[in-house]
């Protein structure tokens, strides 16, 4: 079941539903706690832990039955010891079947035998039917395609003629002298077995398409690019990710707006309410609320040296696509000195503004000087930081063996609400060569590893959530 949930999460992501690793883990834990016996409880647990936006519910509802079918109902036999029919009625059924079979083709004869004996389809038969229905040639695993393949397989079996066959059988049974109650029993058995065959086909098609959806997600080129280190992407691949950045920003904006709406009135502060009530012996009680969550105020400092340009480009794009959920953003860029680039984004689209900044501040040859850039920031731009400001430094911490100016980091930290560092280098690389990350990291409120676009988006989402 864990594997099936993982595949389900991959399919949700492939359909545009944002599901974090922590949320998928929550889903697993919920299922472990609640079990899978009750289908509605199982479904509700996954829906609650995996879906955050109301707009994503239709996607969840479409995909859920493809991954977690209710299973096929048991089939009944109208003949033999387990049959509910009397021996006389079984004999009448045998005679009616022999009479009827003579007028049917091979496909319908086989269907009638299944309906009367309660014989289901084998895995091999389902695979062969699916192949004939064109499942191998599918270009997309959509609910519409699922219904089409399912319909083709039902036609191969002859199920679209079920009601016509049952009418013929009822007439033959009447001719054999079977009473109305017996004919109704035979019809109920045949219809129940027909529904079971339909369910068996639906379950097979749904599971096959679920597997294909999960595979499509694994090999989706945009998903692959968003999870590959940015410094390993070529210019064409970077260009392919630009539309994905806008989609990511839209999802982050929606999530942030919903969080702000939930917190706009503040939440009840139980401790403060009780403390206040004690002054009056508990009567009256004046409800106390926590301060409502304010939109983040940011100062973003980006390393735009050659190795960091892809990261800075996407970081700044995301930030300026999210301006309506931020209070205020000041942006700075550095290679060997600090530049205030906030005005570059006034009246321009982020992509155009970033292109202008990168052209105006060209990279040099081993010219990065983070320490000197931080010193300039403290001398000229410290007014961008106050007790509401979160400062984000995006960089690899490599300083060409220059003075890291840790004292400037201390100054910024004293003025700021929080100081975060986004780095594309893993911790094992800190302190190697000209890296000063071992000195910077302890000064930070948090350090986020952001080698890929997805990791960068996750770090920004973490920031917007106030965590």
At 157-200, the pLDDT tens digits run 888 888 888 888 888 888 888 888 888 888 888 888 888 898 88
pLDDT category at 283 given cuts 50, 70, 90 is low
Show the tokens assigned to 329.
């953003």
Give every CB contact of residue 392 below 8 A, 6+ residues apart in sequence.
298, 299, 300, 301, 420, 421, 422, 463
Check pLDDT > 60 for residue 291: no
Number of other CB atoms surrounding residue 191 within 10 Å: 14
Per the DSSP assignment, residues forming a β-bridge with 392 are 300, 420
Report, as an integer, the average pLDDT of 81-85.
72
pLDDT category at 269 given cuts 50, 70, 90 is low
Most confident of 7-11, 217-221, 352-356: 352-356
pLDDT category at 13 given cuts 50, 70, 90 is confident
The pLDDT tens digits of the residues spanning 442-458 come to 999 999 999 999 999 99
Taking alpha carbons only, the member of 179, 177, 393 closest to residue 304 is 393
pLDDT at 71: 56
- Mean per-residue pLDDT of the chain: 83
Check pLDDT > 80 for residue 364: no
- Map out the domains of the chain as residue ranges: 2-68, 87-219, 239-267+294-464
pLDDT at 218: 58
pTM exceeding 0.95: no
Ranges 133-147, 238-252, 380-394: which has the least confidence: 133-147
Strand 418-423 vs strand 389-394: parallel, antiparallel, or unpaired?
A: parallel
pLDDT at 181: 86
Ranges 177-186, 249-258, 394-403: which has the least confidence: 249-258
Class for the domain spanning 239-267+294-464: alpha beta
The pLDDT tens digits of the residues spanning 95-130 come to 888 888 888 888 888 888 888 888 888 888 888 998
Task: Give long-range contacts, CB 8 A cutoff, 24+ apart: 376-379.
Answer: 376/334, 376/337, 376/338, 377/301, 377/332, 377/338, 377/408, 377/412, 378/408, 378/411, 378/412
Q: What is the largest CA-CA distance in the chain?
A: 105
């Amino acid at each position: 079941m864990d594997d099936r949930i993982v595949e389900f999460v991959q399919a949700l992501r492939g359909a545009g539903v944002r599901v974090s690793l922590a949320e998928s883990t929550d889903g697993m834990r919920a299922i472990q706690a609640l079990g899978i016996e009750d289908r509605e409880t199982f479904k509700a647990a996954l829906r609650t832990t995996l879906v955050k936006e109301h707009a994503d519910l239709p996607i969840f509802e479409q995909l859920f039955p493809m991954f977690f079918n209710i299973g096929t109902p048991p089939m009944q036999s109208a003949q033999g010891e387990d049959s509910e029919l009397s021996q006389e009625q079984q004999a009448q059924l045998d005679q009616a079947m022999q009479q009827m079979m003579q007028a049917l083709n091979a496909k319908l004869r086989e269907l009638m035998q299944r309906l009367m004996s309660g014989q289901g389809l084998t895995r091999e038969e389902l695979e062969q039917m699916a192949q004939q229905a064109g499942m191998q040639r599918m270009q997309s695993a959509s609910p519409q395609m699922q219904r089409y393949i399912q319909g083709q397989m039902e036609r191969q079996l002859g199920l679209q003629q079920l009601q016509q066959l049952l009418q013929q059988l009822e007439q033959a049974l009447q001719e054999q002298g079977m009473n109305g109650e017996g004919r109704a029993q035979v019809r109920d058995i045949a219809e129940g077995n027909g529904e079971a065959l339909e369910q068996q086909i639906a379950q097979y098609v749904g599971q096959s398409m679920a597997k294909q959806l999960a595979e499509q997600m694994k090999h989706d080129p945009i998903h692959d690019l968003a999870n590959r280190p940015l410094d390993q992407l070529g210019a064409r691949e970077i260009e392919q990710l630009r539309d994905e950045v806008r989609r990511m920003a839209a999802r982050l904006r929606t999530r942030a707006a919903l969080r702000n709406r939930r917190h706009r009135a503040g939440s009840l502060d139980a401790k403060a309410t009780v403390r206040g009530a004690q002054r009056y012996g508990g009567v009256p009680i004046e409800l106390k609320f926590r301060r409502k969550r304010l939109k983040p105020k940011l100062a973003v400092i980006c390393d735009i040296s050659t190795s960091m340009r892809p990261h800075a480009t996407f970081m700044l794009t995301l930030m300026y696509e999210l301006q309506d959920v931020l209070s205020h953003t000041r942006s700075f860029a550095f290679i060997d000195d600090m530049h205030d680039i906030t005005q570059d984004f006034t009246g321009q689209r982020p992509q155009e503004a970033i292109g202008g900044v990168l052209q105006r501040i060209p990279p040099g040859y081993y010219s990065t000087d983070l320490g000197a850039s931080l010193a300039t920031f403290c001398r000229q731009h410290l007014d961008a930081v106050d007790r509401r400001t979160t400062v984000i430094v995006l960089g690899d911490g490599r300083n060409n063996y220059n003075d890291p100016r840790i004292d400037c980091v201390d100054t910024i930290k004293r003025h700021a609400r929080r100081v975060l560092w986004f780095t594309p280098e893993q911790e094992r690389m800190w302190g190697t060569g000209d890296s000063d990350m071992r000195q910077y990291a302890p000064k930070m409120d948090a350090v986020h590893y952001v080698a890929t676009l997805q990791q960068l988006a996750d770090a920004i989402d973490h920031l917007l959530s106030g965590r």
